[in-house]
Structure 1
Amino acid sequence: MNFVSVGDLSRAFTLRNSNAALRSDIQRLSKEVTTGVKSDIPKHLNGDLIGLAEIEHGLRQSHSFRRVGAEASATGVAIQAALGTLQQIADDAAAPMLSGGMLASPASLQVVANTARDQLGSAIAAVNGSAAGKYVLSGAQSMTPPLVSAEALMAQALTVVAGASTAAEVSDRLKVFFDAPPGAGGFADQSYRGSHQPAPEFLLDQSSTARFDQTANDQGVRDVLRGMVLGALAADGTLTGNHTEQSKLMDDAALALTQGNTHLSVARSEVGMTQQRIERTTQRLDSLATHLGIERSNLISADSYEAGSHLVQAQTQLEALFALTSRLSNLSLAKFL
Structure 2
Amino acid sequence: MNFTSIGDLAMGLQMRQQNQQLKEHLTRLSSEVISGVRQDVGAAVSGDFAALSGIERGLRTLEAYKLSTGEAALFTGTLQTALGQVAEMGAGLGVPLLAAATTANPVQVDTLAYTARQKLGAMVGALNLRVADRYALSGAATDTPPLAGAGTILSALQGAVAGASTVSDIADAVADWFDAPAGGGGFLDVAYQGAAAGLSPFLLGEGDSAELALTAADPRLRAALAGVALAALLDDGLLGGDTLARGQIAERAGTWILNAEPGLTALRAELGTTEARIDEAATRNSAEVAALKIARNTLIGADPYESAAELEAVQSQLETLYTLTARVAQLSLADYL
| TM-score between both structures, scaled by the size of structure 1 | 0.96
Which residue in the other structure is 1:245 paired with? 245
Question: 2-side partners of 1:89 and 1:262: how far apart?
Answer: 14
Which residue in the other structure is 1:58 paired with? 58
8 Å contact 2:97–2:253 — kept in the other structure?
Answer: yes
8 Å contact 1:73–1:278 — kept in the other structure?
Answer: yes
8 Å contact 2:101–2:109 — kept in the other structure?
Answer: no
* Superposed displacement of residue 43, structure 1: 2.0
Secondary structure of the corresponding residue to residue 99 of structure 2:
coil
Which residue in the other structure is 1:199 paired with? 199
Give the residue type in structure 2 aligned to 1:335: D
Q: How many residues matched?
A: 337
Question: 1-side partners of 2:155 and 2:115: how far apart?
Answer: 17
Secondary structure of the corresponding residue to residue 204 of structure 1:
strand
Which residue in the other structure is 2:304 paired with? 304
Which residue in the other structure is 2:178 paired with? 178
Which residue in the other structure is 2:70 paired with? 70
- Deviations 1:300-334, CA, capped at 9 Å, x for gaps: 21111111111111111111111111111122222
- Deviations 1:127-154, CA, capped at 9 Å, x for gaps: 1112212211111112211111111111
Give the residue type in structure 1 aligned to 2:147: L
* Superposed displacement of residue 104, structure 1: 2.2
Give the residue type in structure 2 aligned to 1:198: G
Which residue in the other structure is 1:135 paired with? 135
8 Å contact 1:97–1:103 — kept in the other structure?
Answer: no
Which residue in the other structure is 1:228 paired with? 228
Which residue in the other structure is 1:289 paired with? 289
Give the residue type in structure 2 aligned to 1:168: S
Question: 1-side partners of 2:274 and 2:47: how far apart?
Answer: 45
- Deviations 1:272-298, CA, capped at 9 Å, x for gaps: 222222222221111111111111111
- Deviations 1:258-277, CA, capped at 9 Å, x for gaps: 22222111111211222222
Question: 1-side partners of 2:103 and 2:293: how far apart?
Answer: 66
- Deviations 1:109-136, CA, capped at 9 Å, x for gaps: 1111111111111111111112212211
Give the residue type in structure 2 aligned to 1:110: D
Question: 2-side partners of 1:249 and 1:84: how far apart?
Answer: 26
Question: 1-side partners of 2:234 and 2:23: how far apart?
Answer: 88
RMSD: 1.4
Secondary structure of the corresponding residue to residue 98 of structure 1:
helix
Relative to 1, partners in 2 of residues 1:240 and 1:180: Cα closer, same or farther, differing over 3 Å? Answer: same
Which residue in the other structure is 1:272 paired with? 272
Give the residue type in structure 1 aligned to 2:14: T
Question: 2-side partners of 1:44 and 1:225: how far apart?
Answer: 65
8 Å contact 1:182–1:188 — kept in the other structure?
Answer: yes
8 Å contact 2:104–2:244 — kept in the other structure?
Answer: no
> Could you list the runs of 5+ residues in structure 2 that have no partner in the other structure?
none
8 Å contact 1:214–1:267 — kept in the other structure?
Answer: no
- Deviations 1:3-27, CA, capped at 9 Å, x for gaps: 2221122111101100101111111
Give the alignment of 1:1-337 within 5 angstroms. Answer: 1-100=1-100, 103-337=103-337
Secondary structure of the corresponding residue to residue 217 of structure 2:
coil
8 Å contact 2:101–2:247 — kept in the other structure?
Answer: no
Secondary structure of the corresponding residue to residue 104 of structure 2:
coil
Question: 2-side partners of 1:24 and 1:185: how far apart?
Answer: 79
| TM-score between both structures, scaled by the size of structure 2 | 0.96
Secondary structure of the corresponding residue to residue 194 of structure 1:
coil
8 Å contact 1:103–1:109 — kept in the other structure?
Answer: no
* Superposed displacement of residue 100, structure 1: 4.2
- Deviations 1:160-188, CA, capped at 9 Å, x for gaps: 11132222111111111110111111110
Give the residue type in structure 1 aligned to 2:63: H
Relative to 1, partners in 2 of residues 1:263 and 1:165: Cα closer, same or farther, differing over 3 Å? Answer: same
Give the residue type in structure 1 aligned to 2:217: N
Give the residue type in structure 1 aligned to 2:130: S
Secondary structure of the corresponding residue to residue 209 of structure 1:
strand
8 Å contact 1:219–1:260 — kept in the other structure?
Answer: no
- Deviations 1:73-121, CA, capped at 9 Å, x for gaps: 1111122112111111110110211104775222221111111111111
Question: 2-side partners of 1:248 and 1:62: how far apart?
Answer: 58
Give the residue type in structure 2 aligned to 1:172: D
8 Å contact 1:82–1:127 — kept in the other structure?
Answer: yes
8 Å contact 2:182–2:188 — kept in the other structure?
Answer: yes
> Could you list the runs of 5+ residues in structure 1 that have no partner in the other structure?
none
Give the residue type in structure 2 aligned to 1:288: E
8 Å contact 1:102–1:112 — kept in the other structure?
Answer: no
Question: 2-side partners of 1:287 and 1:329: how far apart?
Answer: 59
More displaced 10-residue stretch of structure 1: 75-84 or 116-125 = 75-84
